[in-house]
Amino acid sequence: MTQKKLPSLAVVGATGAVGTVMLDILTKRPNVYGEIRLIASARSAGKKLMVRGEEVEVVAISPEAFDGIDIAMFDTPDDIAGEWAPIAASRGAVVVDNSTFFRMDDQVPLVVVEINPEAIKNRPKGIISNPNCTTMTMIVAMGALHKAYGLKELFVSSYQAVSGMGVTGPETLYDQIQQVAGKHLGVEPGDLRTVIKDFGAFPAPLALNVIPWAGSLKDGGYSSEETKVRFESRKILGLPDLKVAATCVRVPVITTHSLSVHAIFEKEVTREAAQALLKSSAGIELLDDPEKGIWPTPNDVVNTDPTWVGRVRRSPDDSHALDLFMCGDNLRKGAALNTAQIAELVAAEFTA
C-alpha cells in the first residue's frame, strides 16, 4: 500500500509572541506534517528559526508563499488575517486563524477541540477560527460541565496577563516594576502616577495596581474582551441565548490568564460530582484542596497546556450553581496550542 504524503504546513506570523510558542509546540508534539514553511512580514524575511530541530528561513508573506501549502496557521493581527487568510484559502490551504477577524462569521466554525471538533468539517470559506485566549481559559471546563448539567448562565471576572497584548505588554510592565521598586508607593491616592509618567501599553499604572479594562471600547461601556467572552462562548457551546456577564481586568502578571466563574445550570450539581467530572475530562487539571492551601495560580501553571481548575464550590444559595477559579496559559492553550490541535485534526483528513 502506498503511504499517503504528509500535508504541508505554513505558520504565518512565525516571529511573533504566539508564533514563537507555536514553533515550540510543533517541535514537541507528534510530527504530522511534511514541509513546514515559516511566513512573516517582509521585514522579518530571511530570519532563521528553529523548528523540529531544523533551521528554517522565514519567507515574506505573498500569494505565492502559500503555493503548495495544505494547512496555514495564522498568528497575526486582525487586519493581516482579514487580508491574507482568504488569499491562502484561495491558493488551496485550509486556514486555521487565531485572530478575531472571522470568529463571528457564520460560515467560519469556531472550534475548541475538546468541545466541538466535528465543527471543522463545515468550513465553506476554507477557514477555521480559534477562540480568544480569555474565552479559552474557561471554555474547556465549562464545556465539560455543560454537557453534564446544561449551562444556563455565566458570570465571569477575568484577571488577564499582559502578554495578551503582545510583546509591548510585558516590556511595559517590567519597565514599570523597575520604576516602583524600592519606593514607598500604593499608600496614597494616585501616588503611582507621580513615579510612572508614561503608562505605555496600559491606560493607567499597572505595577502595584490592577486596571478594570482590557481591549477596546464597545457598545454600552463594555470592552472588546468582555464581548468576546459573551459571543464566543455562545457560538462554541451552541447556546445562542446563553446569558453571559463578563468583567475583564488587567493584572500585573506576565503570562497566564485567570478567571473567576459563577455558572448556573439546568440540573442540580454537587461540589463532589463537579470535581470528579473535571478531574476526568480531557484538557483539564483539577487542583483543588483549599484545606491545604492548594489551588492554581498563574505563576504555578505558566508554560503548561491544560486548563487548571480549583476553588470548586456549590453556591450556598442555589443548588444549580457552581463557583470556580481557573488558570490557563494565554499563549499556549489560549492561542497556539488549540490552533495546533485544530490543524492536527485537519492534517488527519489528508492521511485518512
Q: Which of 233, 258, 247 is nearest to 153 (CA)?
A: 233
Write out 10-30 in H/E/C secondary structure: EEECCCCHHHHHHHHHHHHCC
Q: Which residues of 65-83 are buried (b: 16+ CB within 10 A; e: fewer)?
A: bbeebbbbbbbbeeebbbe
- C-alpha span between 291 and 293 (Å, rounded): 6
Give the contacts of 8 (CB within 8 A, at least 6 positions apart): 33, 34, 35, 36, 37, 68, 69, 70, 71
Question: How far is C-alpha 6 from the geometric centre of its chain's CA atoms?
Answer: 27
- C-alpha span between 156 and 277 (Å, rounded): 21
Tell me the catalytic residues: 133, 257
What nine digits make up the cell of 301?
501553571
| Helix residue ranges per DSSP H, 91-223 | 133-149, 168-180, 192-195
Instruction: Write the DSSP symbol of residue 7.
Output: P
Residue 109 · residue 122 · CB < 8 Å = yes
Question: How far is C-alpha 200 from the geometric centre of its chain's CA atoms?
Answer: 23
- C-alpha span between 74 and 97 (Å, rounded): 5
What nine digits make up the cell of 147?
454537557
